[in-house]
Amino acid sequence: MTVKLVSHANLTTACAADVRAAIRNGSYDGHTAGLAAGKLQCNLAILPDRFALDFLRFCQRNPKPCPIVGVSNTGDPSLPTLGRDIDIRTDVSKYRVFRNGELSEEVTDICDVWSDDLVTVALGCSFTFENALLRNGIPVRHIETSKNVPMFRTNIDLVPAGKFGGQMVVTMRPIPADQVAQASEICSRFPQAHGAPIAVGDPAQIGISDLSQPDWGDAVDIRAGEVPVYWACGVTPQNVLLAAGLPICITHSPGHMLVSDVAEDAETTILTTN
CB of 197 to a second copy, least distance (A): 11
**∠ at Cα 38 (37, 39), nearest 5°?**
95
Site string for a second copy, 154-193 (x = CB under 8 A): -----x-xx-------------------------x--x--
| Crossing angle (nearest 10°) for helices 180-188 and 127-135 | 130
**Cα distance between residue 80 and residue 67, in whole Å:** 18
CB of 257 to a second copy, least distance (A): 19
Which has the closest alpha carbon to 262: 89, 7, 50, 86? 86
Q: Which is nearer to a second copy, 23 or 68 (CB)?
A: 68
Residues in the chain: 274
Site for a second copy in 15-74 (CB under 8 A): 49, 52-53, 56-57, 60-64, 68, 70-71, 73-74
Which has the closest alpha carbon to 238: 69, 41, 59, 54? 59
Q: What letter would DSSP give residue 204?
A: G
Total number of residues binding a second copy (CB under 8 A)? Answer: 32
Helix (H) or strand (E) holding 107: strand 102-107
Neighbours of 227 (CB within 10 A): 15
Whether the CB-CB separation of 36 and 28 falls below 8 Å is answered with: no
Site for a second copy in 67-126 (CB under 8 A): 68, 70-71, 73-74, 80-81, 119
Residue 260 touching a second copy (CB under 8 A):
no
- Residue selected from 196, 229, 233, 250 as contacting a second copy according to rule CB under 8 A: 196
Site string for a second copy, 213-242 (x = CB under 8 A): ------------------------------
Residue numbers of the site for a second copy (CB under 8 A)? 49, 52-53, 56-57, 60-64, 68, 70-71, 73-74, 80-81, 119, 159, 161-162, 188, 191, 195-196, 198, 267-270, 272-273
